[in-house]
Structures are given as C-alpha cells and as structure tokens.
Structure 1
Amino acid sequence: MKTILITGGAGFIGSNFVRYLYDKYPEYRLIVLDALTYAGNIKNLPVDINSGSDERLVFWYGNVRNGELVDTIMSQSDAVVHFAAESHVTRSIYDNLLFFETDVLGTQTVANAVLKYRDRIERFVHISTSEVYGTAMAERMSEDHPLLPMSPYASAKCGADRLVYSYWETYKIPAIIVRPFNNYGPYQHLEKVVPRFITSCLLGEPLTVHGDGTAARDFLHVQDHCEALDLILHASREKVVGEVINIGTGCHTDLITIANTVRRLMRPDKSPVQYIGDRPGQVFRHTCDNTRASKLLGWAPKISFEEGLDRTVRWYRDNETWWRPQMWMRHIPIVTAAGKRELH
C-alpha cells in the first residue's frame, strides 16, 4: 500500500486529484493537508471526514508553513503532490503578502521535509503554473520559454518553482515541476472566470469581461490534468525526476469566446456581456507546447474545450447548494490599469 500526501487537497485541482486517486487506486492511502482557506472545502473530498470510518483517506487541517506538522505527515508518505497555494491573480493584486508566505515559504517547508525524508519519498511533484511564463513570446510556450511573471501571484509561484528546482540541483531530491495551463471543471471557486460566467448566466447577471475580451488562455479540463499527474506519479523515476513538464492542450481561447460559448450552452435571455477595465499585470496570451508531456508520458488531452465546458455547465447547474455560499466572493475590488476602482 502506497501513501500519497496531497497538500491543498481540499482545493479545486487538489480535490479533483484526490477523487481521481481514491477511485482508481483502492489500495492507496491518501493523506490530505489543507488549511481550508476560502477556496478549500471539505465537501470537495470523496468521503465524509467526520465519520472517521475510512482509513484510506486521512485529513489534516493545517498550514504548509507548519514545519513540525509537515514533517510528521511526510514521514508517513511515499510520495507528495504539492498543490497548496494561493492561486487567484486578481486577489494577489491587493493581498500579495499572503501569496508569498504560502506559495514560497510553504513550498520551502514542504521541500525541506522531502529532503529530510528523501530515503523514503519516491517523488515530489510540485504544481507550478503557466503564469510563470508571462505573455507568450512564441506560437506555443515550451518549458524553455523565459520566465516573466506579470502579477504578484505569478511571481510568488515563480519563486516556488525555482526554489524546487534549486533543491533538485543542490540536494537531488526527487522533484518534478509541473506547469499546468488554465484548469476548469467541477469544484472550482466562483472567483475564476469559467464558473463565474456560468453562475452569472444562472443568476441572469451580465458576464463581466476584462478589457476588450481578446486576452486568451489555454484551457485544460481538470480530468485531463489528473490523468497527466497519474502518469507522472507512476512513470519510471529516470524519466521524470528533475524534469519540468507543461500540461496543456496546445490551443487557446479568448475571454469573449468563452463568455459567448457559455451563453450559448445555457441559452439565457438576461445575461449580456459587460466589458470592464483590464486588470494590472494582465497576460495577453498563453498557449501550451505539450511536446515534452507527450514524449515522456505518452500523454495527450482527451476532452475538447466544448465538451469540457458542457460538462462544467451541467455540474454547476446541478450543484447550486455547493456554490451558493461563495456568492459574496465572486467579485474582487481592484484599481485597474487605468486607475479606476472596479469589481473584477
């Protein structure tokens, strides 16, 4: 029986991966560490942690900056997948200290624990982000693309990314750095663009679009991401340890296309598009080069954007009791690049 530690396992991508592992590997024991900030929710997990009857999933309520706690659970683990981070670009504009504390110092704490128990830890999968690249300087962004973070969130994640790399170079811990592009799917907080558009349609509200709507991202369904991480966990160490691996589709979609596609899928009559100012540090385009993931893992995304968006629309339509409590956090006040105070 392998024991997998998942930090940030009650968040969006983390909880989807916990569910994926729980369903696919009944012989595995999963340890979830989460501070249950606003974006984490124990209801995202596949079991009721209050029952205490399922020994396959153990939940620890705590912060990744707590070295003693992280050491304790690392000593029980065979591998770790490190999702725990503050992750919203817009929120990082006005609350940047928390991002550096969690994303950089939290990652240092986890990396130090991996180093301490490197005799038993088979691999340390660090979840970085495509945001470290900044705006695309080529048709597709490979792992060798310059790192030009354009927001406090991106720079915090870039610091964590390079910290993990430095631990690999210095101490040879079994690290793999994963740079996923924009994920979407079930259990995503309403502050993110896809669930915000969907719930705006459900509520009959305007869909607010930054700038002129041409900012584009490579959108990856979270199920495809989970399958890639599964392959990384189970590939031979020689193939993946020390690697940086992009996970994305190789296609990009602009914001106005997403808004109009959501509106078409839901057929609302009362949800027009409303343009608002560009946020500071806006990235114009992200498009993934996933050649390395294909060569090393044999991985390719299976879910088209249209299919994934349709699945996601249906999930939010069917799970209003899950997202209703997040209503007050759907919009964030910021001062735009033009100096205007707006809700984003």
Structure 2
Amino acid sequence: MERLLVTGGAGFIGSNFVHHLMEHTDLRVTVLDKLTYAASKESLEGLPEDRVQLVVGDIAEAEVVDPLVAEHDAVVHYAAESHNDNSLHDPSPFIKTNILGTFTILEAVRKHEKRLHHVSTDEVYGDLELDDPKRFTEDTPYNPSSPYSASKAGSDHLVRAWVRSFGVQATVSNCSNNYGPWQHIEKFIPRQITNVIDGIRPKLYGSGENVRDWIHADDHSSAVLTILEKGRIGETYLIGADGEKNNLEVVQLILTLMGQPADAFDHVTDRAGHDLRYAIESGKLRQELGWSPQFQDFESGLADTIEWYQAHEDWWRPHKDAVEATYAEKGQ
C-alpha cells in the first residue's frame, strides 16, 4: 500500500489521522473534503506537499469519487456530518453525506476492488444507564437516538451489506468521543476552553451527569491505522481508551487547569434526546490486533488540548461569535 485516499481529511478527526500518517508511515495521501464549516485547509498546513494533496469535492458525487478511488490503493472514510444539535435542526445534510456519500464510496471501491475502512461512532448503539456496569461491544444492538446517529447506523449497515453481498474488502470501527487539536468550537470541550479564554462562563447541559468515553484523536488515529493494516475483512472493531467522564467533571477540570474556580460555570437547557452514557469495550481491538492507547491520562491530554487552543486563537476566533449566537438562541 503506497497511496491512501482519506475522505474528510481536513476535518477534526480526519486531519489528525493525516498528521499521524505523515509521522508514522511513508504513505502518500490524498484528502477528499468538501471543506464545510467544520473543516479547514489550515488543519493540513505544514505537511509535506509531495506526500499530501487536497482535493475539494463532495463524497456524494460519483464523478468526483470514482476516479480518485481508482488511483489509490485504499480508502479511509472519515467524511461525515457529525454534530447532533445540527442534525436536530436539519437532518437532510446528514442523510445525504452519511448515507448517500457512503453508498457512493462503496460503489467506487466495489468497482475498482479497493480496500476500505469505514469510520463510525459509538452513538449508533444509543446510550447506557448511568449505573449500568456494561459497555458497548461489537455485538451490542444498534439503537440510534438522533438523525446523526441514525444516519451513521445506516452507513455502517451499508458497508456490512456490501461486504456480504459483493465481497467488498472493508472493515468498520466505532469510536468514542474524541478530543484534541483542530476540533470545531461548536463541540463540547473546545467550546468550554474558548469560553474560558474569552472570560465567558462555560455552559453545562442540564445537571452535567451525562457520561462520555473520551479518547485523544491521536489514539483514534493509531487505532484506525492498526485496523487498516491488520484488521480482518468484514470485522468491526470498537475503539476506546477507558476515558469515562461525566460532563460536570470535564467542565470542572477545564476550569481548574485554566486557573479558574471549579464552580465558575452555568447550567443551561439540556439538549433534546441527550444520551445518558457511552462506554466502549475495546478488548477485541487490543487483544486481536495488539493496539493500546498512548494518552491514558485524560488530564494530561486535556491540558495539551487547552494549550493548543490558546496557541491557535487565529484559527477559531473568526467563528466564535456565530457559534455562541446560535447556542444563545436555544438557551444553551
């Protein structure tokens, strides 16, 4: 494998993967990205131009996707609409990108007989009770609760159907919540960090008891690369780093790390259909493929993330007022 096509590679998780590839492999990478509001050319700046090429285009358009797939050895499919709140406001882009876009990718890899890895989310499983000792596994039934998670569930089912019906050489991964550099400030952790930088009190949905299983984006990247290289065709692997924290704990830790009182936040209106708890059991990935996370100390990883947003204000600053205005309209 010499040439890799990465869809959504200018977004948060995708761009972190491209950076990871540049550091740990000799691959040449083409990024296919529509460059919507959540992606940016800046996330790929500084990478070697002889190894990374950006193509601006839509994964739902076969005339864009087909020739790119033909000239690459494999595809890693990150591209997706991913913000739950946006899916509640207007589900249509989620259906087009996450379902139709994945269909388009699948037809291209089927035609050209290329390897595919499809990146998905733990949100397809719904949620767990706060006191439930269980975690999500590869055998957990799908139970999506939002247009976003439903569209991702649909895309996962398409991949598995194309493997079974057409022999497509594909794997699937479902990952827990990512944090790290280049994440759009509409998302939970960067929103709170940039609020504190601006002297604005962080905003906490409801009581803050909702639990997420946090993983650093670089650990997600190393897991995806491991699956691409070693994963068994047709298999699904769950990616997690044992990082369960409730939202209250995360906000308090951000405040503490940034030198503020741990109670200097405001409770705001909870999000509609807000899932209670996500928790990943990644034993299959660790035992079968030998993967393990490097950022096992959430506090240290969060401190590095805070420093990144402090140092890259020129990147997020132009979007801050609009993001806060949108949340303010919803009482959040």
Q: TM-score, normalised by structure 1?
A: 0.91
Counterpart of 1:257 in structure 2 is 249
Q: Partners in 2 of 1:331 and 1:100 — Cα distance? A: 26
1:112-151 map, 5 Å: 112-118=107-113, 121=114, 123-136=115-128, 138=132, 139-151=134-146
1:265-280 map, 5 Å: 265-268=257-260, 272-280=264-272
Q: Is the 8 A contact 1:140 1:250 kept in 2?
A: no
Q: Partners in 2 of 1:231 and 1:327 — Cα distance? A: 36
Q: Is the 8 A contact 2:252 2:262 kept in 1?
A: no
1:5-44 map, 5 Å: 5-25=5-25, 27-44=26-43
Q: CA deviation at 1:103?
A: 0.6
- The number of residues matched between the two structures is 328
When structure 1 is superposed on structure 2, of 134-143 and 156-165 the one drifting more is 134-143
1:189-228 map, 5 Å: 189-228=184-223
Question: Residues 38 and 291 (structure 1 numbering): CA distance in 2 closer, same or farther, change over 3 Å?
Answer: same
Question: Residues 329 and 3 (structure 1 numbering): CA distance in 2 closer, same or farther, change over 3 Å?
Answer: farther
Q: CA deviation at 1:205?
A: 0.6
Q: Partners in 1 of 2:170 and 2:10 — Cα distance? A: 22
Counterpart of 2:315 in structure 1 is 322
Between the aligned residues of both structures, percent identity stands at 37
Q: Secondary structure at the match of 2:330?
A: strand
Counterpart of 2:302 in structure 1 is 309
Question: Residues 329 and 233 (structure 1 numbering): CA distance in 2 closer, same or farther, change over 3 Å?
Answer: farther
CA deviation profile, 1:258-280 (whole Å, cap 9, x unmatched): 00000000013698211112211
Instruction: Give the gaps of 5 or more residues in structure 1.
Output: 336-340
Q: Partners in 1 of 2:281 and 2:325 — Cα distance? A: 32
Q: Secondary structure at the match of 1:128?
A: strand
Q: What is the letter of the counterpart of residue 53 of structure 2?
A: V
CA deviation profile, 1:262-320 (whole Å, cap 9, x unmatched): 00000136982111122111100001101111122111222121111011011111111
Q: Is the 8 A contact 2:28 2:51 kept in 1?
A: yes
Q: Is the 8 A contact 2:214 2:242 kept in 1?
A: no
Question: Residues 148 and 59 (structure 1 numbering): CA distance in 2 closer, same or farther, change over 3 Å?
Answer: same
Q: Is the 8 A contact 1:240 1:296 kept in 2?
A: no
Q: Partners in 1 of 2:69 and 2:90 — Cα distance? A: 29
Q: Partners in 2 of 1:80 and 1:271 — Cα distance? A: 45
Q: CA deviation at 1:332?
A: 6.9
Q: Partners in 2 of 1:210 and 1:309 — Cα distance? A: 20
Q: Partners in 1 of 2:264 and 2:56 — Cα distance? A: 41
Question: Residues 244 and 332 (structure 1 numbering): CA distance in 2 closer, same or farther, change over 3 Å?
Answer: farther
Question: Residues 269 and 33 (structure 1 numbering): CA distance in 2 closer, same or farther, change over 3 Å?
Answer: same
Q: Partners in 2 of 1:296 and 1:263 — Cα distance? A: 39
Counterpart of 1:229 in structure 2 is 224
The match for 1:187 among 179, 182, 195 is: 182
Question: Residues 240 and 330 (structure 1 numbering): CA distance in 2 closer, same or farther, change over 3 Å?
Answer: farther
Instruction: Give the gaps of 5 or more residues in structure 2.
Output: none
Q: What is the letter of the counterpart of residue 276 of structure 2?
A: F
Q: Partners in 1 of 2:242 and 2:248 — Cα distance? A: 19
Q: Partners in 2 of 1:269 and 1:214 — Cα distance? A: 19
Q: CA deviation at 1:54?
A: 2.4
Q: Is the 8 A contact 1:4 1:31 kept in 2?
A: yes
Q: Is the 8 A contact 1:12 1:39 kept in 2?
A: yes
